[in-house]
């Protein structure tokens, strides 16, 4: 799963000196089109001051309730190694002077802030909260930053403005650094900072979800140099594709081997139970609490005549530490040696009766069959393969609130053609390392990249073929997109960029 969350509010606070007369500490920039990060050293004068430092600090907030909902429902698990969260701000270089060779730091905020209605970034004449002095105003009562500029930092639980460190759940009480940094060599780079620890702590209610503060790291705020101006697009930018993003990645792919179970190699078979269009735990008895839950809650029996019969334990699938309602799996291998050897050698495959039932073996919930094949063994042939890929159910238009389950048909172009006299539905081949990306059809820009590291864009497989779920809210509205695909096979990467029809997000 690759999901992009949009900012719910943002802005920046500053103590900029105006006309060498006063500081704009009560100014607000909540509706400005950019987030301007700068520091000026002795560029202005103020009466009674031997040195003048002017600086800004960025504030941004995302609604992490969406991540919490996904975690609680088992869609993602924040404890899983594949889960990550990245804060992304897009540079908007417009020919202005830009600093280079500096470091930014990101903190979780300890106080709520108001976005405000200000947009004047020339004279800073719009007064509202938040600003350099005030974090927010509730019912006429102002909440001030502990130190002007949200400068008070410290450990979780102290009277502070931003959090530097804290003990995170699942880490055995170890104090974790909660202030990641990024170095900017040219000053024209985007900001892309790993905030997984911060998001995980917020979802676990260890940290209150107040948002983030972005600043020059301490050494750069305190030195005797100017850094003017590092400019990012805000959530009010006219270009929706470069607005701030929180990118959530998680490997939610399910690799079902009903279509490609191989002798002598471990595989996984899945069973789903749907009641009124909702995944629901299987009822195993007459009592309300007689439900198949947890580990070893069902059994799977495979048999073929009197030659082979084995029973395997079945459990609810896990998302990290969470069990998912209504989906079960069994993982095992079947040896082609012993009693099955001669038949496997002569035919290449065996079809087994497949029965999913309760642990007592008295009730069957599904009776079916599965064909297990021997591995493909041949003379070496490492030529790169070409593929035929199409999306089967892609709509022309989607609302931004939709989550689309996209079905994909894929086969090698060298796949053997089988002629039949009766109607026959040709099933997709299965590739367990197949990934999608999203490309803007007009500009060609990659909006969602292939993710072969965290595997958040890996396709799933089931008995009907290949598929993936996609959150349309991750894409800017009003644009036309296409899906491209990457297949990793026998050491080769093949990109297919002519597989899908166009679609628009409304």
Which CATH number describes the domain made up of 387-505?
2.60.40.2840
Q: Give the pLDDT confidence score for residue 92 in this predicted structure.
A: 96
Tell me the average pLDDT across 257-285: 95
Cβ-based neighbours of 483, under 8 Å, separated by 6 or more: 391, 394, 406, 436, 437, 438, 439, 499, 500
The Cα 302–Cα 300 span in angstroms is: 7
Q: What is the pLDDT of residues 32-83, one digit of tens each?
A: 999 999 999 999 988 777 789 999 999 999 999 999 999 988 889 998 999 9
Tell me the average pLDDT across 297-302: 98
CA angle 101, 105, 109 (to 5 degrees): 160
Please count the other Cβ atoms lying within 10 Å of the Cβ belonging to residue 410: 20
Q: Give the pLDDT confidence score for residue 143 in this predicted structure.
A: 97
Sequence-ordered alpha helix ranges (H) in 213-372: 218-222, 341-347
Q: Give the pLDDT confidence score for residue 250 in this predicted structure.
A: 96
Scanning the structure block, which residue is given the tokens 């279509």?
A: 259
Long-range contacts at 277-281 (CB < 8 A, ≥ 24 apart): 278/326, 279/324, 279/325, 279/326, 279/327, 280/325, 280/326, 281/316, 281/325, 281/326
Q: Give the pLDDT confidence score for residue 405 in this predicted structure.
A: 96
Confidence of residue 242 (pLDDT cuts 50, 70, 90): very high
Question: Any idea which of 2-6, 58-62, 138-142, 313-317 has the lowest mean pLDDT?
Answer: 138-142
Q: Give the pLDDT confidence score for residue 94 in this predicted structure.
A: 81
Scanning the structure block, which residue is given the tokens 């079960």?
A: 328
Please count the other Cβ atoms lying within 10 Å of the Cβ belonging to residue 35: 29
Q: Give the pLDDT confidence score for residue 49 in this predicted structure.
A: 78
What is the pLDDT of the chain when averaged over all its residues? 93
Burial class (CB in 10 A: 0-12, 13-18, 19+), 56: buried
DSSP, residue by residue, 184-219? ESSS-PPEEEE-HHHHHHHHTTSS----EEEEE-HH
Is the CB of residue 430 less than 8 Å from the CB of residue 412?
A: no
* Model confidence at 203: pLDDT above 70: yes
Domain with CATH 2.60.40.2840 in the chain: 387-505
Q: Give the pLDDT confidence score for residue 260 in this predicted structure.
A: 93
Maximum CA pair distance of the chain? 98
DSSP designation for 345: H
* Model confidence at 384: pLDDT above 70: no
Q: Give the pLDDT confidence score for residue 295 in this predicted structure.
A: 96
* Model confidence at 128: pLDDT above 80: yes
* Model confidence at 170: pLDDT above 60: no
Q: Say whether pTM exceeds 0.85.
A: yes
Is the CB of residue 336 less than 8 Å from the CB of residue 346?
A: no
In the three-class reduction of DSSP (H, G, I as helix; E, B as strand; rest coil), residue 158 is classed as coil
7-26 burial: b if 16+ Cβ within 10 Å, else e: bebbbbbbbbbeeeeebbbb
Burial class (CB in 10 A: 0-12, 13-18, 19+), 492: exposed
For the chain, the first-to-last Cα distance in angstroms comes to: 21
Residue % of the chain over a pLDDT of 90: 84
In the three-class reduction of DSSP (H, G, I as helix; E, B as strand; rest coil), residue 342 is classed as helix
Q: Give the pLDDT confidence score for residue 493 in this predicted structure.
A: 92
Please tell me which residue, 62 or 384, carries the higher pLDDT value: 62
- The CATH architecture that domain 261-373 belongs to is Sandwich (2.60)
Question: Any idea which of 279-293, 356-370, 417-431 has the lowest mean pLDDT?
Answer: 417-431
Q: What is the pLDDT of residues 321-372, one digit of tens each?
A: 788 999 999 999 999 999 999 999 999 999 999 999 999 999 999 999 999 9
């Amino acid at each position: 799963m690759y999901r992009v969350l949009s900012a719910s509010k943002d802005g920046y606070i500053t103590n900029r000196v105006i006309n060498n007369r006063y500081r704009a500490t009560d100014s607000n920039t909540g509706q400005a089109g950019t987030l301007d990060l700068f520091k000026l050293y002795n560029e202005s004068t103020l009466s009674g001051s031997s040195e003048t430092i002017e600086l800004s600090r960025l504030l941004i907030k995302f609604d992490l309730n969406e991540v919490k909902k996904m975690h609680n429902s088992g869609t993602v698990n924040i404890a899983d190694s594949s889960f990550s969260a990245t804060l992304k701000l897009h540079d908007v270089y417009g020919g202005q002077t830009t600093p280079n060779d500096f470091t930014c730091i990101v903190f979780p905020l300890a106080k709520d802030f108001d976005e405000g209605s200000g947009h004047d970034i020339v004279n800073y004449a719009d007064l509202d909260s938040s600003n350099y002095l005030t974090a927010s105003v509730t019912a006429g009562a102002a909440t001030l930053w502990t130190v002007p500029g949200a400068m008070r930092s410290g450990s979780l639980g102290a009277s502070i403005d931003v959090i530097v460190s804290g003990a995170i759940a699942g880490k055995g009480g170890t104090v974790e650094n909660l202030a990641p940094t990024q170095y900017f060599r040219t000053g024209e780079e985007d900001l892309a900072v790993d905030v997984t620890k911060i998001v995980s702590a917020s979802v676990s209610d260890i940290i209150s979800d107040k948002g983030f503060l972005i600043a020059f790291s301490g050494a750069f705020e305190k030195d005797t140099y100017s850094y003017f101006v590092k400019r990012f697009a805000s959530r009010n930018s006219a270009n929706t594709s470069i607005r701030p993003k929180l990118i959530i990645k998680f490997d939610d792919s399910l690799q079902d081997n009903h279509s490609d179970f191989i002798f002598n190699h471990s595989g996984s078979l899945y069973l789903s139970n749907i009641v009124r269009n909702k995944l629901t735990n299987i009822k195993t008895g007459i009592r309300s609490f007689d439900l198949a839950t947890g580990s070893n809650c069902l059994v799977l029996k495979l048999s073929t005549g009197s030659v082979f019969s084995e029973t395997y334990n079945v459990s609810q699938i896990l998302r990290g530490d969470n069990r998912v309602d209504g989906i079960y799996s069994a993982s095992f291998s079947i040896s082609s040696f012993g009693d099955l050897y001669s038949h496997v050698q002569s035919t290449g495959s065996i079809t087994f009766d497949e029965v999913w039932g309760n642990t007592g073996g008295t009730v069957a919930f599904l009776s079916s069959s599965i064909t297990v094949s021997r591995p493909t063994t041949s003379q070496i042939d490492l030529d790169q393969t070409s593929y035929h890929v199409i999306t089967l159910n892609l709509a022309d238009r989607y609302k931004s609130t939709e989550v689309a389950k996209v079905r994909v048909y894929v086969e090698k172009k060298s796949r053997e053609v089988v002629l039949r006299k009766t109607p026959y539905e040709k099933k997709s081949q299965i590739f367990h390392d197949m990934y999608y990306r999203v490309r803007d059809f007009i500009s060609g820009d990659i909006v969602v990249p292939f993710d072969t590291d965290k595997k958040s864009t890996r396709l799933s497989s089931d008995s009907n073929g290949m598929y993936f779920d996609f959150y349309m809210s991750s894409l800017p509205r009003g644009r036309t997109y296409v899906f491209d695909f990457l297949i990793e096979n026998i050491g080769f990467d093949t990109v297919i960029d002519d597989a899908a029809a166009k679609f628009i997000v409304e």
